Amino acid sequence: MKSAIAFILLAIVPSLAQLSGPLAPFQVSGPIVSLQSSSGAGAPPGTIFDIEMQSIERSNLVIVGVAWDSNASLVSVKLFNKATGIEGQTLNIDVNNRIGTTAANVSCAIASGVVSSNLGVTDVRAAFSTTLGAVAISAREVTGIANFDKFSTNSGTGTAPTSNVSPLRTTANEFSIGVIAIEGPSTDAPGTWANLRKGQRAGTNSGGAAANCIIEEGFLELATIGTSVAKKTGVASRDWAAAVATYKIRDKQ
DSSP string, 122-158: EEEEEEESS--SEEEEEEEEEESEEEEEEEEEEEEEE
Q: What is the pLDDT of residue 171?
A: 81
Higher pLDDT among residues 99 and 178, named by residue: 178
pLDDT tens-digit series, residues 187-246: 999 999 998 999 999 999 998 888 999 999 999 988 888 889 999 999 999 999 999 999
Q: What is the pLDDT of residue 41?
A: 97
**Sheet containing strand 61-69, strands side by side:** 33-42, 134-143, 61-69, 106-114, 86-99, 74-81, 122-128, 48-53
Closest to 197 measured CA to CA, from 6, 21, 16 = 21
pLDDT tens-digit series, residues 139-177: 999 998 878 999 999 999 999 999 999 998 888 888 999
Least confident of 7-16, 31-40, 133-142, 172-181: 7-16
pTM equals 0.85
Higher pLDDT among residues 118 and 178, named by residue: 178
Q: Mean pLDDT throughout 59-79?
A: 93
Higher pLDDT among residues 223 and 6, named by residue: 223
If residue 201 lies in a helix (H) or strand (E), which one and from where to where? strand 197-203
Nearest-angstrom CA–CA distance, 166 and 163: 8
DSSP string, 66-115: EEEESS--EEEEEEEETTTTEEEEEEEEEEEEEE-SSSS-EEEEEEEEE-
Closest to 180 measured CA to CA, from 227, 136, 222, 142 = 136
